[in-house]
């Protein structure tokens, strides 16, 4: 394992008196695809801008590829592919001229891949930028982020405005980048697309990290509903106080409860009887994330 690709410690940004980001601690490992989720105004774009030294932190530190984004901006520019939420380019030029210029800012790196990437995304290279739809402008941003095969891709809402077919192409490109060893940090509002490509997901809310884990672990830590049926009536007292078990209801030979974490203790208790049926209802992914978006405030009020 090489050096951690992004290390943010107590990263904080206030805009005047307004909170942008409130003490973010986050480590992104080499070669992982990290999905960065959160509701509007959570601080996703603020985080991304801090990683790139487009804005300066009020407090805390961040290192990217082992370097300081402020002191090492030029070196990092060649090693990072950045897709901003709002790509600003000279709209009088054609797609070709614009991408060629962006390549020249990186010493020409990636110029030879422009044609192939544009073709793959269905982007007309001779079109003037000003004539492009929102989705086609987004493709220009994607091409310039990927063309020099950077070690780190930082993508702010990359699929905004793309039609479903192009979204699939884009997700395949993320997969290929990860396969060649690149690290991908990508913000999104779309759970399913993040789930399709991300190794882990970070969820931020009100400028703070509220969860950071794999989808599987987040699901495992969620509350499931379990319905058990037996050949004969059971005494709910036998199940009360088992690890992770709450909201117990017994009705004759049926037992219903909520379960958090491992089902092991519950299953061991159940198999003291003859079990005739078990149904465990997983929370829908949307519900799971909704609980992170709207649940109680994080305890650590810095
Ligand atoms: N330049 C700015 N001046 C003042 N406040 C700002 C500025 N940029 C962001 N903010 C505030 O900081 C907070 C975080 O904004 P940010 O754009 O980082 O959120 P986000 O998670 O990217 O949201 P979205 O999903 O809507 O893009 C918001 O309350 C926003 O109003």
Q: What is the CATH number of the domain that holds 83?
A: 3.40.50.300
Mean pLDDT along residues 9-22: 92
| Closest protein CA for atom 7 of ligand 1 | 15
Q: Is residue 88 located within the same domain as residue 204?
A: yes
Ligand 1 atom with minimal separation from the 43 CA: 18
Q: Is residue 147 located within the same domain as residue 251?
A: no
Are 215 and 222 contacting, i.e. CB atoms less than 8 angstroms apart? no
Cα 156 to averaged position of ligand 1 atoms, centre (Å): 13
What is the pLDDT, as a whole number, of residue 249? 94
Domain hosting 245: range is 223-281
Cα 47 to averaged position of ligand 1 atoms, centre (Å): 10
How far does CA 13 lie from the centroid of its chain? Answer: 20
The conformation of residue 212, written as its DSSP 8-state character, comes to E
Distance CA 267, CA 275 (A): 10
Cα 13 to averaged position of ligand 1 atoms, centre (Å): 10
**Cβ atoms within 10 Å, residue 132:** 17
Distance CA 181, CA 152 (A): 9
Count structural domains, the chain.
2
Distance CA 254, CA 250 (A): 6
Are 289 and 203 contacting, i.e. CB atoms less than 8 angstroms apart? yes
Distance CA 49, CA 46 (A): 5
User: Quick one: what percent of the chain has pLDDT higher than 70?
Assistant: 95
Cα 83 to averaged position of ligand 1 atoms, centre (Å): 17
Residue to substitute in 13, 35, 41 for testing ligand 1 pocket (most ligand atoms within 8 angstroms of CB): 41
In a domain, 301, yes or no: no
Ligand 1 atom with minimal separation from the 47 CA: 18
What is the pLDDT, as a whole number, of residue 292? 73
Q: Is residue 164 located within the same domain as residue 262?
A: no
For residue 233, what is the domain's CATH number?
A: 3.30.70
Distance CA 104, CA 108 (A): 4
Distance CA 118, CA 125 (A): 7
Cα 204 to averaged position of ligand 1 atoms, centre (Å): 12
Pocket, ligand 1, Cβ cutoff 6 A: 15, 18, 20, 38, 40-46
- Of 200, 218, 236, the position where a domain reaches its end is 218
Q: Is residue 269 located within the same domain as residue 145?
A: no
What is the pLDDT, as a whole number, of residue 18? 87
Average pLDDT, the chain: 91
In a domain, 77, yes or no: yes
| Closest protein CA for atom 29 of ligand 1 | 41
Q: Is residue 114 located within the same domain as residue 240?
A: no
Pair of tokens at residue 42: 């959570």
Q: Is residue 214 located within the same domain as residue 239?
A: no
Ligand 1 atom with minimal separation from the 21 CA: 14
| Closest protein CA for atom 16 of ligand 1 | 43
Show the beta-strand stretches assigned E in 84-215: 152-156, 183-188, 200-205, 208-213
Cα 49 to averaged position of ligand 1 atoms, centre (Å): 11
Lowest mean pLDDT among 127-136, 198-207, 283-292: 283-292
pTM for the full model? 0.83
ipTM reported for the complex, 2 dp: 0.95
Are 118 and 145 contacting, i.e. CB atoms less than 8 angstroms apart? no
Cα 42 to averaged position of ligand 1 atoms, centre (Å): 7
Ligand 1 atom with minimal separation from the 85 CA: 27
More confident: 242 or 223:
242
Pair of tokens at residue 272: 């003291």
Q: Is residue 93 located within the same domain as residue 120?
A: yes
- Which band of pLDDT confidence, cut at 50, 70 and 90, is reported for residue 1? low
Distance CA 112, CA 226 (A): 56
pLDDT in tens, 74-97: 899 899 999 998 888 888 899 999
Residue to substitute in 14, 42, 47 for testing ligand 1 pocket (most ligand atoms within 8 angstroms of CB): 42
Show the beta-strand stretches assigned E in the chain: 6-15, 18-28, 33-37, 59-64, 80-83, 152-156, 183-188, 200-205, 208-213, 223-230, 245-251, 254-260, 275-281
Closest C-alpha to 230, from 266, 184, 272:
272
**Cβ atoms within 10 Å, residue 75:** 11
User: Quick one: what percent of the chain has pLDDT higher than 90?
Assistant: 73
pLDDT in tens, 130-169: 999 999 999 999 999 999 999 999 999 999 899 999 999 9
Give the helix/strand (H/E) hosting 74.
Answer: helix 73-79
Are 174 and 186 contacting, i.e. CB atoms less than 8 angstroms apart? yes
Q: Is 223 helix (H, G, I), strand (E, B) or coil?
A: strand
Q: Is residue 192 located within the same domain as residue 233?
A: no
How far does CA 216 lie from the centroid of its chain? Answer: 14
Cα 20 to averaged position of ligand 1 atoms, centre (Å): 6
More confident: 270 or 301:
270
Q: Is residue 192 located within the same domain as residue 143?
A: yes
Q: Is residue 252 located within the same domain as residue 154?
A: no
Distance CA 26, CA 7 (A): 6
pLDDT surpassing 60 at residue 301 = no
Distance CA 172, CA 84 (A): 20
Distance CA 137, CA 176 (A): 22
Q: Is residue 118 located within the same domain as residue 148?
A: yes
């Amino acid at each position: 394992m090489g050096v951690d690709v992004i290390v943010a410690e107590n990263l904080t940004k206030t805009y005047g008196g307004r909170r942008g980001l409130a003490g973010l601690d986050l480590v992104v490992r080499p070669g992982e695809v990290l999905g960065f989720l959160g509701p509007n105004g959570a601080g996703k774009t603020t985080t991304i801008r801090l990683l790139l030294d487009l804005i300066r932190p009020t407090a805390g530190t961040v290192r990217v590829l082992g370097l300081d984004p402020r002191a090492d901006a030029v070196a990092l520019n060649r090693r990072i592919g950045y897709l901003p939420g709002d790509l600003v380019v000279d709209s009088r030029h054609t797609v070709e001229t614009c991408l060629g210029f962006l390549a020249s800012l990186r010493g020409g790196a990636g110029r030879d891949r422009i044609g192939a990437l544009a073709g793959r995304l269905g982007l007309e290279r001779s079109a003037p930028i000003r004539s492009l739809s929102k989705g086609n402008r987004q493709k220009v941003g994607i091409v310039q982020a990927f063309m020099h095969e950077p070690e780190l891709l930082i993508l702010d809402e990359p699929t905004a405005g793309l039609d479903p077919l192009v979204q699939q192409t884009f997700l395949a490109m993320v997969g290929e980048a990860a396969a060649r060893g690149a690290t991908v940090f990508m913000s999104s509002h779309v759970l399913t697309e993040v789930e399709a490509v991300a190794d882990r997901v970070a969820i931020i809310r009100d400028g703070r990290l509220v969860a950071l884990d794999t989808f599987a672990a987040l699901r495992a830590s969620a509350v499931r509903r379990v319905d058990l049926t037996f050949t004969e009536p059971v005494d709910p007292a036998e199940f009360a106080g088992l690890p992770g078990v709450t909201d117990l209801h017994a009705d004759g030979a049926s037992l219903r409860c909520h379960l958090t974490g491992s089902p092991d203790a519950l299953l061991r208790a159940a198999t003291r009887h003859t079990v005739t049926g078990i149904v465990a209802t997983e929370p829908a992914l949307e519900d799971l994330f909704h609980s992170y978006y709207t649940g109680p405030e994080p305890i650590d009020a810095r």
